[in-house]
Amino acid sequence: MFNVVNILLLSFITVLVLYPLYFVVSASFSNPTYILKGEMWLWPKGFNVDSYTKVFENKDIVNGFINTLKYTTIGTLINLIMTIMAAYPLSRKDFYGKNVIMAIFVFTMFFGGGLIPTYLLIRDLGMIDTLWVMVIPNAVAVWNIIIMRTFFQTTIPLELQESAQIDGCGNIRILLKIVLPLSMPVIAVMILFYAVGHWNSYFQALIYLSDKENFPLQLILREILIRGEMDEMIKATSETFLNQKLSVEGLKYAVLIVANLPMLILYPFLQRYFVKGFMVGSIKG
Amino acid sequence: MLKKSFRKNWDLYLLISPVIAYFIIFHYVPMYGIQIAFKDFIATKGIWGSEWVGLKHFERFFDSYYFWRLIKNTLGIGIYTLAVSFPIPIIIALMLNEVRNEKYKKFVQTVIYAPHFLSTVVVVGMLILFLKPDGIINQTITLFGGNPVDFMTEPGWFKSLYVFSDVWQTMGWSSIIYLAALTAVDHSQHEAAMIDGASRIQRIWHINIPAIMPTIVILFILNAGSVMSVGFEKVFLMQNTLNMSTSDVISTFVYRSGILEAQYSFSAAVGLFNSVINFIMLIMVNAIAKKINNTSLW
């Protein structure tokens, strides 16, 4: 009895989460006429890929995609290096002053200067409308330093590092030759967390970027999906009003899929890592 | 034994120094910049050179027409979110923990974690697509003979849409941490309880919930501490001129008056007011949790 109720409830929740996602996929392959008439609710109706063709013909979307790819790659690389540079020393028992440094980091999780002082700083540094504003002000996350530090402490035996040191191995070599090769699961998790963060971020771009050439995909998405500016753009062409409305409707579903494409591809591969990584970090976190 | 020593580990200090520099520049320098909330900031004079004006900007904010509306909306959304999206992941974790079929469990997890990886823009975009007057939700409503509702522009719907789309997006991922805590439960306790004739529900109530209580308390403190800091991203995207009366919160107000209207000192004061209240709440909830549950952040 208990099992039946439990499984039924969980299945209900699963359907509730899955259906909107499924609907978007299905709608993106359908003829928009059926979506607007409410005749498409499960399988794609009037199967076609016209909406995707329109997405890839759109200069702004393609440019935004390339920009996001650039910000995500460079940003994640910086994040990863910075996180390791902080987490490794902090994981070492013989690193004098680690508690003070940790406290300096952790305090920023609870208190900050706020939007305006940060904005003024970034403006004074001359970072507005540059690539750097997308990757430097969020170069490392305290929470991820904690996860990685905990991983180093709990899974890489200190004895191993000590014996390497006795053999004349320096700290940096211990990190590069012993610690990092043993830390692939946590590195995979960090890449996932940071990359998703960069891929999805729009706040940074909204505040600090004004040149449309530099816009990441999320800002372009916002214009299409939320501000409905696409409607304006398409009105300029000679299509009839109904056709315009239909084109825009189909494009909206397709662009949702394209925006999440990298995640859809990576998700199955990385899934086994993130639960493990999350657990490592949370036990002592 | 490795000895604590500056000289021997000089390279580790060198390694961490860029990270320390990053925190000083991008986190502590803005804290220093907070002082413009008490000054009339003039760009040519800089932060240091601008004139002190005391609490002028705070008074202007407290007296403004927006003050109570912002407080009401910010707190309202914050508490609503805490009340709904905090307990649901705990319940889901407890339910998932009872599933014996590994394949089914894995499938449910894969599905419910997925929305966590969608961006806020995508989620709000989906919300708008589904809820617009000719969207699928309204098509369903009319199918059953109801009248279509323009959800996105109706002020009364804003908070619920915000909270329940948040639940949809985060419940799966938030349950991971409780699931992790549940794996640490000592199995012999369950065996002993079974011998004593305890039912599944009784065992969940008396063994599993107490086992994850420290995790629950810590996360509750963290969440309660940010009740006032309703995120800018999603509210801003869901906001439009028609739902402003219920959707305007402190963070969107700071953005408008600070970034768009360049009233730097005034909006820095509003932002500071918000952070201070958050900080006080965090300390208070932490102190209460320490007293009644012996669990705390520090």
Q: The complex's ipTM? A: 0.87
**For residue A260, is pLDDT > 80?**
yes
pLDDT of residue A279: 60
**For residue B296, is pLDDT > 90?**
no
Distance, in angstroms, between B260 CA and closest chain A CA?
Answer: 9
pLDDT of residue A228: 74
| Residue of chain B whose alpha carbon sits nearest to that of A36 | B134
Of residues B64 and A248, more confidently modeled = B64
pLDDT of residue A170: 87
Q: What is the mean pLDDT of residues A141-151?
A: 92
Instruction: Determine what percent of chain B is predicted with pLDDT higher than 90.
Output: 52
**For residue A237, is pLDDT > 60?**
no
Least confident piece of the model among A264-268, B30-34, B237-241: A264-268
pLDDT of residue A283: 47
Judge: B254–A114 Cβ closer than 8 Å, yes or no.
yes
Taking the Cβ of residue B260 and every Cβ of chain A, the question of whether any pair is shorter than 8 Å is answered with no
**For residue B31, is pLDDT > 90?**
yes
Mean of all residue pLDDT scores within chain B: 89
> Distances in Å between the alpha carbon of B168 and those of A16, A21, A99?
8, 11, 38
Taking the Cβ of residue B176 and every Cβ of chain A, the question of whether any pair is shorter than 8 Å is answered with yes
Of residues A245 and A107, more confidently modeled = A107
pLDDT of residue A235: 53
Interface test with A, best of B23, B254, B280, B284 (most A CBs within 10 A): B23
The model's confidence at residue B1, banded by pLDDT at 50, 70 and 90, is very low
Distance, in angstroms, between A11 CA and closest chain B CA?
Answer: 8
Q: Which residues contact B264 (CB under 8 A, 6 or more apart)?
A: A116, A120, B36, B41, B258
Residues within 8 A of B (CB atoms), A 118-147 only: 118-121, 136-137, 139-140, 145
Confirm if B44 and A114 have CB atoms less than 8 A apart.
Answer: no
Distance, in angstroms, between A35 CA and closest chain B CA?
Answer: 8
Judge: A139–B33 Cβ closer than 8 Å, yes or no.
no
Mean of all residue pLDDT scores within chain A: 87
Q: What is the pLDDT of residues B269-282, one digit of tens each?
A: 999 998 888 888 88
Q: What is the pLDDT of residues B103-149, one digit of tens each?
A: 999 999 989 999 999 999 999 999 999 998 888 898 889 889 888 89
Taking the Cβ of residue A62 and every Cβ of chain B, the question of whether any pair is shorter than 8 Å is answered with no
Q: What is the mean pLDDT of residues A230-238?
A: 55
Judge: B126–A20 Cβ closer than 8 Å, yes or no.
yes
The model's confidence at residue A242, banded by pLDDT at 50, 70 and 90, is confident
B3 chain-A contacts, CB cut-off 8 A? 94
The model's confidence at residue A17, banded by pLDDT at 50, 70 and 90, is very high
Q: Quick one: tokens of B288? A: 């209460």
